[in-house]
Amino acid sequence: MKADGDRVEGGGASLVRPVLLPPPSAIPTAFVAEVRSGQWTDAILHSLVHYTWGLVLGSVGGIAAGVLTGMSRRLEDFTSWVVRLLRPIPGLAWVPFAIIWFGVTPTAATFIIVLGVFWINYFAALGAVQAVDRDLLELADAFGHRSTLAKLVKIVLPAASGAILAGLRTGLGQAWMSVVAAELFGVPGLGQRMMQASSLLATDIVIVYMATMA
């Protein structure tokens, strides 16, 4: 028995229409259907490719830029205004430029993920390098390690590695959270499949991919 579009189940009326929020019993069926169709596997594989490239490029670039900036006061002063300008801009705000520059391609999705990961690793590396004990650097001078490269390899990186790795770990999660945002504009992956399902009001499929992301 139905009334005003509400679902009646087990003798009691549902508080939420199934089209808005499906019953838990519908999720396993939707999951099995997605797996059998092959769309679930394809979406995961595409997203993992975007995630991996975005994580690697964003982490390497962020750490390298943070270490170099932390080693040079002049470079930090020169780039500080750029950092203050770009850092507050969310990744989604770059989507129009990503489409213009790269088109609706995996490269555009990777670009959005790179931006999300870059700043986390940049500030982690920058803070870690600047926190290195100055006495250690003076000690390196006393033992003849006066070149920037020698100090970087023997003093700075070993002393800063803990904080740099902490930033890298944070970037692992940020990259994954950026995947959906990076794929919402049509790039194949979990985000695209969720948007397709939501446009058809297939909320059970949306929840399947939300659970997959989790």
Q: Rounded to an integer, what is the distance from CA 209 to the centroid of its chain?
A: 17
Confidence of residue 7 (pLDDT cuts 50, 70, 90): very low
- Which residue in 206, 178, 199, 209 sits closest to 40, CA to CA? 209
Q: In the structure, what pLDDT confidence band is assigned to residue 1 with cuts at 50, 70 and 90? A: very low
CA gap 191, 201 in Å, rounded: 15
Query: pTM of this prediction?
Result: 0.79
Average pLDDT of the chain, as a whole number: 83
pLDDT surpassing 90 at residue 132: no
Question: What number is the average pLDDT over the span 28-38?
Answer: 89
Confidence of residue 146 (pLDDT cuts 50, 70, 90): low
State yes or no: pLDDT of 13 exceeds 60: no
- The per-residue pLDDT for 46 is 92
Range in 6-10, 172-176, 199-203, 209-213 the model is least confident about? 6-10
Query: Residue range 97-115: average pLDDT?
Result: 91
Cα separation, 212 vs 111, whole angstroms: 23
Separation CA 150–CA 155 (nearest Å): 8
Percent of the chain at pLDDT above 90? 29
pLDDT value, residue 145: 65
Instruction: Report the sign of the C-alpha dihedral through residues 44, 50, 53, 54, in that order.
Output: negative
Dihedral sign for Cα atoms in the order 91, 214, 29, 17: negative
pLDDT at 186: 81
DSSP-derived letter for residue 9 is E
Per-residue pLDDT, 133: 76
